[in-house]
Amino acid sequence: MRQSQLFLATARETPSEADVVSHQLMLRAGLVRQFTSGVYSFLPLGWRVLQKVENIVRQEMDAAGAQEVLLPIVQTEDIWERSGRSEVYGEDMFRLQDRHKRNMVLGPTHEEVITLLVRQEVRSYRQLPVTLYQIQTKFRDEARPRAGLLRGREFRMKDAYSFDADALGLDSSYQAMYAAYCRIFERIGIEYRAVEADPGAIGGEGGTHEFMVLSEAGEDNVVSCSRCSYSANVEKASGQALTADREPTALDKVRIETGSATTIDQLSKFLQVDPSQIVKVLVYIADGVPLAVCVRGDHEVNEVKLKNVLGVSAVELASAEEVKEHVGLPIGFVGPIVSMRTIVDRDVLTVTDGVAACESEGYHEVHVLPGRDFPTDEIFDVRNVTEGDLCPKCGAPLLFQRGIEVGHVFKLGTRYSDVFETLYKDADGVDRTILMGCYGLGTSRIVAAIVEQCHDEDGIVWPMTVAPFQVHVVPVNIKDEEQSRAAVEFYTRLRAAGVDALLDDREERPGVKFKDADLLGMPLRITVGNKIRDGLVELKYRRSGHVDTLAVQQAFDAVLAMVK
């Protein structure tokens, strides 16, 4: 491609509407343009990157045995009502009416549509297993679209769905998709984590993993082991149980006046005790029933873990009024012996000389011991991991990083096949319910995530496999006949060898061309300047900034070796 003909306008200034780096750089480099809030046009360079990402995804899906289909964007609302998800999505779904006043939606995802399709087509166990996928535009009417392509209202996704006869089959379909995702991110060349996640509201039993691209711009916290492959999101992450570092106190508990000190911070200062020795009691309402939860003062309750331990559909921290109603005390004075079911976090057992509220305003008890002074019948891990916690698998320290969620693999089980009565006949002719998995990958979000991870102060630094062009050929002065001829020849030879090359044939000052080249971020740059008289060109590596001065043929061979 000749740059003089490229539909592209680069910008020096950072656009004011963009708050994250990927959005700024993608606008400045002319990859995308916003049409309206959360809706973007891809310009030629951006489209080339997206297609390269999607081609890698397509190749790995095909290699994993999945078959590509294309499902309708326009869907009837009744199937969403049947699955119960019309209400779940609520205003997040784009809704419309056709000319017959029938309610329709623009698909945010395709579980309903594909389950109905498979229900029609699959009759026998002989047709299973099957995994179908598509790469398509999806819609979600986000309340606050932000961060450019990271959270848009119209976006590109690969979504795959597996259908199996039994749990063993589902396991293997899931593993095949998991492995394909790992290969996709390795081929793209970005740092990622496959993190254990909580199955959440989508339903279904068994495993689920989120694929996160590590980046400070991410909205999610990723907990990873500093030594082994353990990785989980904060909702799911669990450290090793802590051990007490002191003998339990031999003193009996004593009630002392603590005045207006109620928060952990105030109590810790007032009583000169470490927050880890304070027993914090919180009142929750679980499916309408109040209960108490004890954690150490330096820990926070993890409501997802609590919900799973209790096996309820919702837990919510009780309001001051609800605490007053159920316990008869202001929030800060609820102690560990309350006349209701009490869940104790397992690390409360490391309290050896504790402080706790004692159901009396203005007082606390000291020298409190769990088990001795309050019951510890129901012990679970119900807290968030924190800095200093150790890996549950190998005991090395856990690290906390930010991540952008770009993919998700999920065992749905019979969540949708139950609703849509998706059955197959087994070898004995008995009807059985098909087991499903779903596997999403946000391809336009991956493009933004790559830019978040791969850039420096001068611009984008594309990995070779997804760069819009692999090599940028830049003659310093296009009006110099010798430079121009050598540059065009180099560019033509690259193209003949199957390399994606961009030739900057514009009549611009060298400084402008070099700045644009850095901003656009092709991995390799061939600069043809005055040294061409001695048969030499410069090969610049965008990532390291390193420059080699090489004979033309040497440079050509070096480029070919790196591109292949």
Q: Under the rule (CB under 5 A), what is the footprint of Zn ion?
A: 225, 227-228, 230, 391, 393-394, 396
CA 207 to chain centre: 16
What is the rounded distance in angstroms from the CA atom of residue 420 to the CA atom of residue 414?
10
What is the rounded distance in angstroms from the CA atom of residue 546 to the CA atom of residue 33?
32
Minimum CB separation from Zn ion for residue 222, in Å?
14
DSSP β-ladder status, 192-196 and 208-214: antiparallel
The smaller minimum CB distance to Zn ion, of residues 228 and 254, is found at: 228
Minimum CB separation from Zn ion for residue 238, in Å?
12
The smaller minimum CB distance to Zn ion, of residues 237 and 368, is found at: 237
Strand partners, 257: 363
- Give the up-direction half-sphere exposure of residue 334: CA atoms within 13 A in the CB hemisphere: 28
Cβ-in-10-Å burial (0-12, 13-18, 19+) of 312 comes to middle
The smaller minimum CB distance to Zn ion, of residues 167 and 228, is found at: 228
Which residues in 301-310 are b (16+ Cβ under 10 Å) and which e? bbbbbbbbbb
Q: In this structure, are residues 390 and 247 in contact, taking their beta carbons and an 8 Å threshold?
A: no
What is the rounded distance in angstroms from the CA atom of residue 214 to the CA atom of residue 438?
23
Minimum CB separation from Zn ion for residue 398, in Å?
8
N- to C-terminal Cα separation, the chain: 19
Q: In this structure, are residues 221 and 403 in contact, taking their beta carbons and an 8 Å threshold?
A: yes
The smaller minimum CB distance to Zn ion, of residues 229 and 530, is found at: 229
Which residues in 393-429 are b (16+ Cβ under 10 Å) and which e? eeeeebeebbbbbbbbbbbbbbbbbebbebebeeeee
Minimum CB separation from Zn ion for residue 192, in Å?
17
The smaller minimum CB distance to Zn ion, of residues 146 and 227, is found at: 227
The smaller minimum CB distance to Zn ion, of residues 334 and 391, is found at: 391
Cβ-in-10-Å burial (0-12, 13-18, 19+) of 506 comes to middle
The smaller minimum CB distance to Zn ion, of residues 63 and 228, is found at: 228
Pair of tokens at residue 177: 């998709």
Pair of tokens at residue 534: 């001695």
Minimum CB separation from Zn ion for residue 302, in Å?
20
The smaller minimum CB distance to Zn ion, of residues 85 and 209, is found at: 209
Residues written for the chain: 564
Q: In this structure, are residues 471 and 526 in contact, taking their beta carbons and an 8 Å threshold?
A: yes
Minimum CB separation from Zn ion for residue 239, in Å?
10
What is the rounded distance in angstroms from the CA atom of residue 375 to the CA atom of residue 487?
80
The smaller minimum CB distance to Zn ion, of residues 243 and 544, is found at: 243
The smaller minimum CB distance to Zn ion, of residues 237 and 474, is found at: 237
Which contiguous run of DSSP H or E holds residue 475? strand 471-475
Minimum CB separation from Zn ion for residue 397, in Å?
9
Minimum CB separation from Zn ion for residue 400, in Å?
14
Minimum CB separation from Zn ion for residue 227, in Å?
5
Minimum CB separation from Zn ion for residue 171, in Å?
23
Minimum CB separation from Zn ion for residue 212, in Å?
17
Please report the DSSP string for 154-193 in residue order. Answer: EEEEEEEEEEESSHHHHHHHHHHHHHHHHHHHHHHT--EE
The smaller minimum CB distance to Zn ion, of residues 238 and 276, is found at: 238
What DSSP designation does 229 have? S
